[in-house]
Amino acid sequence: MSTRPQLAADHREITGKKVAELRRAGILPAVVYGHGHESMPIQIDAREFGTLRRRVGRNALVDLQVDGGRSQPVLLHAVHEHPVTRLVLHADFYIVKMTEEMTVDVPVVHVGESLAIEKLGGTLLHLRDTIQVRALPADLPSALELDISSLDSFEAMLHVSDLRVPERVTLLTDPTEPIARVQQPRAEAVAEEAEAAPEGEAAEGEAGAAGGEESGEG
């Protein structure tokens, strides 16, 4: 028996702009597709979907039952939210074959503490937010962890190869690609640039200032 989360749905007749009426009634419009199946509009209880989403992460497998029929494994492929209110507007489910590998984008989650952030006041720069991987549906990770504790200076850099990738997951993104570093505070960066300026440039600047004073006296 499957231990995957269960989700019930009904075939949806209402499409287009009229789906706003469904949302007002507490119903979430969605669509299910994949593996030769035509895209099917469905509708789900919005509260039930919210509960499901709090339980599972991205790329989660769910047993979807439409109109009381036979359940089938689907991937929660995408969730569309309102850009301001973050209210869920639509969900996409992708039908999967449990014996067939899939290629998906997985978000990067940072763990650990960086000395360059905690002690030196730097700011973490996310050079990549997602990483592409391939795996069987049951092995797809909801996220990949990146330990940032080695970022102990502003020169330190982490790469895709530093990610914690599960054994049965294949990394597709270039492992040499930079993924995170710490940027030093702006005020300190400006001060260092000034200190690093060649002496000749500083001398020219002083000479220019002196010349300006002499011409002013004339």
Residue 133 domain-assigned (yes or no):
yes
Query: Is there a single domain that holds both residue 52 and residue 78?
Result: yes
Lowest mean pLDDT among 60-64, 126-130, 208-212: 208-212
Backbone dihedral angles phi then psi of residue 23, each to the nearest 5 degrees: -60, -40
Range of the domain at 126: 103-187
Mean pLDDT of the chain: 88
Query: Is there a single domain that holds both residue 149 and residue 170?
Result: yes
pLDDT of residue 28: 97
3-class secondary structure, 128: coil
Q: Which of 101, 148, 94 is nearest to 125 (CA)?
A: 148
pLDDT tens track for 44-83 = 999 999 999 888 877 889 999 999 999 999 999 889 999 9
Whether 116 has a pLDDT exceeding 90, the answer reads yes
The tally of domains found in the chain comes to 2
Lowest mean pLDDT among 90-94, 96-100, 202-206: 202-206
Residue 218 domain-assigned (yes or no):
no
Whether 218 has a pLDDT exceeding 50, the answer reads no
Q: Which CATH number characterizes residue 157's domain?
A: 2.170.120.20
Whether 1 has a pLDDT exceeding 70, the answer reads no
pLDDT of residue 148: 97
Query: Is there a single domain that holds both residue 34 and residue 61?
Result: yes
Residue, of 209 and 84, whose pLDDT is higher = 84
Residue 193 domain-assigned (yes or no):
no
Residue 192 domain-assigned (yes or no):
no
pLDDT tens track for 141-189 = 989 999 999 999 999 999 999 999 999 999 999 999 999 999 999 765 5
Residue 112 domain-assigned (yes or no):
yes
Query: Cα–Cα distance between 57 and 178 in angstroms, integer?
Result: 25
What's the token pair of residue 106?
């997985």
Residue 123 domain-assigned (yes or no):
yes
Whether 132 has a pLDDT exceeding 60, the answer reads yes
Cite the DSSP H helix spans in the chain.
19-24, 46-55, 115-118, 186-195, 199-217
Query: Is there a single domain that holds both residue 152 and residue 92?
Result: no
Query: Is there a single domain that holds both residue 85 and residue 108?
Result: no
Task: Give 134: exposed, middle or buried? Use CB within 10 Å, 0-12, 13-18, 19+.
Answer: middle
Whether 20 has a pLDDT exceeding 60, the answer reads yes
pLDDT of residue 196: 65
